[in-house]
Structure 1
Amino acid sequence: MDRDMTLEITGRSAADIAASVRALIERGVLLPGDPLPPVRGLADDLGVNRNTAVAAYRQLTTAGMVVTRGRGGTRVADRSPVAQEGFAADSVLRDVATGNPDPDLIPDPSRALAGMAGRPVLYGEPVIDPDLERWAAKWVGADLAPSDVRLTITSGAADAVDRLLAQALVRDDAVALEDPCFLTSIHTVRVGGYRPVPIPVDDEGMTVDGLRSALEQGVRAVVCTPRAQNPTGASLSDRRAADLREVLADHPYVLVIEDDHFSMLSRSPYRSLIGPAHRRWALVRSVSKFLGPDMCLAVTASDPETADRLAMRLTPGTTWVSHLLQRLALALVTDPDIVAGIEAAGAHYAERNEAFAARLTALGLPATAGDGLNLWVALPMPARDVSEQLMRRGWLVRAGDEFVLSDAPAARRLRLTVHDLADAEAERLAADIAAAVRAAGGRLAPPGME
């Protein structure tokens, strides 16, 4: 900002100072991202004790009006909506930005529903259905290094991450997120009032230097996708996972949350950040990618203390997950035909993404298919320029800017969901992307230079 905001902030008590700042925000004098005066300078100008200014800023932080960014100071919170996954409403364009699984590959639950009769579940019963718990213990148990594992059930992965952060953090605590990041994680951290600290992601997943830097900045939690990272498709390598565990070994009480969202569909092995001696951790596996987004259910494995705190937020009688839904999920994942169909679906997503990456590479846009539902396509220019050209050709895509946390230059990536395109559609989209790059002033790689 060009002007000195201390000239407009008034008050002698913490409540009055906070009310003054709130009024400036509500009147639009202070806009999202605008810096507030340093605490010491504000206290000196108002003639109050420094602790009074600190208390005023704390009230504003608790209310979600401002955020603290460490060395970046205190700034007005950004309340603009975060982009969401899913189909674009009312669009006449062909939407290849959805991030959705193929509906034709989601199992039909009709037969399982017909056989779900059973006794009713009453208040005070366990959060997790005993039969589902036995199956889930085998599903996650073989992949976890810690020996003392507790299980619970949440209404999907986003619900699990939200509750896990809420039971461990307070507003304005720092949370490490992958950069670029899953849209729902960005939304969860922003709504919770936490301070996101970006960790760069490369082809092997979350970077070691990025994690080390985040821990030095005092993060209280780390949210990581061990495989099929969204949007990049990256999966942790053995070496990277070991290096990250080594860094975390000196921070055993930092909450590590692994969102293994692609699990049963993944073409990559599960490799974990969670070491055998880590004290605060959770592994979240949702069923939404292979049983469908409407199956709002996730298995959460964690250390005992985290599990106890999470269970308190899911007490039967308040917000526990329906046991009918739990029984349905169990019936589906224990049906051999459906399990075979899930495996075939994972192979389908991988094959279609690889085929589309090959099409782009042949046209002079070198591309590699990672794991997951989407492709993360590199461009020779800002993605917004290419996405605008594609809209003129009838396509709706996602520019990489929506997934980026850091203040880096405009992203040169597109995230595409192409697995449900017929061959002719895929050929046309690839050709249109190449044409859009040229129309926006970009250059394609010469043949043989992929």
Structure 2
Amino acid sequence: MSTDAEHCTGQDHASRISGGTAAEIADSVRGLVERGALVPGHPLPSVRALAEQLGINRNTAVAAYRTLARSGVVVSQGRAGTRVAQHPRVPQEGFAAAGSLRDLGTGNPDPTLIPDLRPALAAAVGRPVLYGEPVIDRDLESWARDWIAPDAPGPVDGMGLTLTSGAVDAVERLLAQALLRDDAVALEDPCFLASIHLSRLGGYRAVPVPVDAEGMTVDGLRRALDQGVRAVVSTPRAQNPTGASLTAERAAQLREVLADHPYVLVIQDDYYSYLSRRPFHSIIGPEHRRWALIRSVSKFAGPDMCLAVTASDPETAARLAMRLSPGTTWVSHLLQRLTHAVMTDAGALALIERAGAHYAERNAAFAERLSAHGLPARAGDGLSLWVGVPAPARGVAERLMRRGWLARTGDEFRLGPTDEPSHHLRLTVHDLDEQAAETLAADLAAAAREAR
């Protein structure tokens, strides 16, 4: 909360806004923000006050504020006025600054279950690739089509295939080619941290769609579509953070809802694919006009293997290619060849299959431990476990820290503010040995009792 002195200083700087047109006023405010004269959270003059201050028509002031809002410089709060936008930090995946604590929030795969890339390096080295050549290596394209085409909703002949630097890169580019700032996008709630970050950076209006044990809910999607969302991002398997996977029945119900909105872009991020213990069920019907299915290799070939395959309808594929053209026009062919060598090696594929089974078994075993300690838990799909606790999760996490554990609370994965605290923790436990797993289960049960 700003102090009275800060408020007065902000108003003093706001009095320096100048200009006679909407564009000039918007440029003036942006300049004050960039120089730090107006800081995040500071109020701006009301439309009436700004018009009187500059001697302009009120409609000009409205147009200036609208331009600033669209560019993310300010936020309108209705009767509460207009303020300089604040950009809160979004938690990131990966290791936290845990110090002496055991970090349970990494979401990382087991490095011992990632294929050794050294044997594949020789196969990846070939003649240099020059400008103007096909952006997808021929061998990788053939493999990628065989991998993704059986689950694409439309005919293979009409399917576009695009490579990006990972699944998050694909989602960002797909949203950017389909949405403008302030457009609404339906996101799962709780949500993958990167999706929250992308929606904020893009200036999109995130509409939460609740997730239950069967995935995105039907009523939630229907409400989001009624609010005019122009895109939907769904995780068909191993939803992060909950581990939920779509059932055949739920997917069919969601397809029925989407049938009335064929031009809404539907993005399915099947990031866990090879590792998943669940069947793939699509929410995209055969008649849907705007769609994309993304599969990444990072979870099983290693996080540094930044490559994802996106199948999409022809128009979306063309727009996605245009989004790639101003910068890096292709994913490195060395990386493409390396991926192809790994994903066509029998030994590597056997290790990936073993990894998927290992994550599922370790999560299920830990859920059983928690249940034995009086905390009923159920393992979903994915690298981590979504654990319900009988008290606000932040209080439980604080007590876990005193016992040497660092955990992520469900509050971090929420799309917007809410008065109700989360009662979930997301834990990465597949790398714990038997003794550590038992200690954590006992500590978590004790922390939950204390917090309650």
TM-score, reference length from structure 1: 0.89
Alignment of 1:381-400 (within 5 A): 381-400=391-410
State the one-letter code of the partner of 1:56: A
Corresponding position: 1:411 with 2:413: no
- Unpaired runs of 5+ residues, structure 1, are 443-450
For residues 162 and 221 of structure 2, the distance between their equivalents in structure 1, rounded to whole angstroms, comes to 28
Deviations 1:137-169 (A, max 9, x none): 111111122112111110000111111111112
Alignment of 1:28-47 (within 5 A): 31-32=40-41
Equivalent position of 2:433 in the other structure: 422
Corresponding position: 1:60 with 2:71: no
Asked if structure 1 preserves the Cα contact closer than 8 Å seen for 2:294 and 2:309, the reply is yes
Corresponding position: 1:364 with 2:374: yes
Equivalent position of 1:350 in the other structure: 360
Equivalent position of 1:136 in the other structure: 144
Match of 1:14 among 19, 22, 27: 22
> What SS does the aligned partner of 1:376 have?
strand
Match of 1:228 among 234, 238, 262: 238
State the one-letter code of the partner of 1:273: I
For residues 206 and 92 of structure 1, the distance between their equivalents in structure 2, rounded to whole angstroms, comes to 37
Shift of 1:6: 10
State the one-letter code of the partner of 1:185: S
Asked if structure 1 preserves the Cα contact closer than 8 Å seen for 2:101 and 2:405, the reply is yes
Structure 1's 316 and 105: CA in aligned 2 closer, same or farther, altered over 3 A? Answer: farther
Shift of 1:15: 4.0
Asked if structure 2 preserves the Cα contact closer than 8 Å seen for 1:67 and 1:195, the reply is no
Corresponding position: 1:219 with 2:229: yes
Shift of 1:17: 4.7
* Higher mean C-alpha deviation, range 329-338 or range 6-15: 6-15
For residues 401 and 49 of structure 2, the distance between their equivalents in structure 1, rounded to whole angstroms, comes to 49
* Higher mean C-alpha deviation, range 100-109 or range 248-257: 248-257
State the one-letter code of the partner of 1:349: Y
For residues 73 and 257 of structure 1, the distance between their equivalents in structure 2, rounded to whole angstroms, comes to 35
Deviations 1:396-446 (A, max 9, x none): 110111000133311111000000100100000011111111222x1xxxx
Match of 1:99 among 96, 103, 107: 107
Asked if structure 2 preserves the Cα contact closer than 8 Å seen for 1:6 and 1:45, the reply is no
Deviations 1:225-273 (A, max 9, x none): 1110000001111121111111111111111111111000001111111
Structure 1's 390 and 329: CA in aligned 2 closer, same or farther, altered over 3 A? Answer: same
Asked if structure 2 preserves the Cα contact closer than 8 Å seen for 1:384 and 1:399, the reply is yes
Asked if structure 1 preserves the Cα contact closer than 8 Å seen for 2:294 and 2:311, the reply is yes
Deviations 1:22-49 (A, max 9, x none): 54897687755x8878879977998754
For residues 251 and 50 of structure 1, the distance between their equivalents in structure 2, rounded to whole angstroms, comes to 38
Shift of 1:20: 6.8
Deviations 1:63-98 (A, max 9, x none): 322356999997653312210000113622111110
> What SS does the aligned partner of 1:115 have?
helix
State the one-letter code of the partner of 1:121: V
State the one-letter code of the partner of 1:189: S
Equivalent position of 1:145 in the other structure: 153
> What SS does the aligned partner of 1:313 have?
helix
For residues 149 and 292 of structure 1, the distance between their equivalents in structure 2, rounded to whole angstroms, comes to 27
> What SS does the aligned partner of 2:293 have?
strand
Asked if structure 2 preserves the Cα contact closer than 8 Å seen for 1:177 and 1:198, the reply is yes
Equivalent position of 2:93 in the other structure: 85
For residues 151 and 58 of structure 2, the distance between their equivalents in structure 1, rounded to whole angstroms, comes to 50
For residues 88 and 245 of structure 1, the distance between their equivalents in structure 2, rounded to whole angstroms, comes to 38
Structure 1's 376 and 25: CA in aligned 2 closer, same or farther, altered over 3 A? Answer: farther
- Unpaired runs of 5+ residues, structure 2, are none
Equivalent position of 2:117 in the other structure: 109
> What SS does the aligned partner of 1:356 have?
helix
How many residues in Structure 1 have an aligned counterpart in Structure 2?
440
TM-score, reference length from structure 2: 0.89
For residues 448 and 232 of structure 2, the distance between their equivalents in structure 1, rounded to whole angstroms, comes to 36
Give the CA RMSD over aligned residues: 2.9
Structure 1's 317 and 176: CA in aligned 2 closer, same or farther, altered over 3 A? Answer: closer
Deviations 1:356-403 (A, max 9, x none): 111111111111100000111111111111111111111011011100
Asked if structure 1 preserves the Cα contact closer than 8 Å seen for 2:40 and 2:83, the reply is no
State the one-letter code of the partner of 1:369: A
Match of 2:448 among 437, 442, 447: 437
Asked if structure 2 preserves the Cα contact closer than 8 Å seen for 1:400 and 1:411, the reply is yes
For residues 166 and 180 of structure 2, the distance between their equivalents in structure 1, rounded to whole angstroms, comes to 22
Structure 1's 16 and 122: CA in aligned 2 closer, same or farther, altered over 3 A? Answer: closer
For residues 76 and 260 of structure 2, the distance between their equivalents in structure 1, rounded to whole angstroms, comes to 25
* Higher mean C-alpha deviation, range 389-398 or range 210-219: 210-219
Structure 1's 284 and 42: CA in aligned 2 closer, same or farther, altered over 3 A? Answer: farther
Structure 1's 277 and 115: CA in aligned 2 closer, same or farther, altered over 3 A? Answer: same
Structure 1's 26 and 193: CA in aligned 2 closer, same or farther, altered over 3 A? Answer: farther
Match of 1:126 among 119, 122, 134: 134
* Higher mean C-alpha deviation, range 406-415 or range 286-295: 406-415
For residues 260 and 50 of structure 2, the distance between their equivalents in structure 1, rounded to whole angstroms, comes to 37
Alignment of 1:114-193 (within 5 A): 114-147=122-155, 148-193=158-203
State the one-letter code of the partner of 1:298: A
> What SS does the aligned partner of 1:222 have?
strand
Shift of 1:217: 1.5
Structure 1's 231 and 240: CA in aligned 2 closer, same or farther, altered over 3 A? Answer: same
Asked if structure 1 preserves the Cα contact closer than 8 Å seen for 2:125 and 2:334, the reply is no
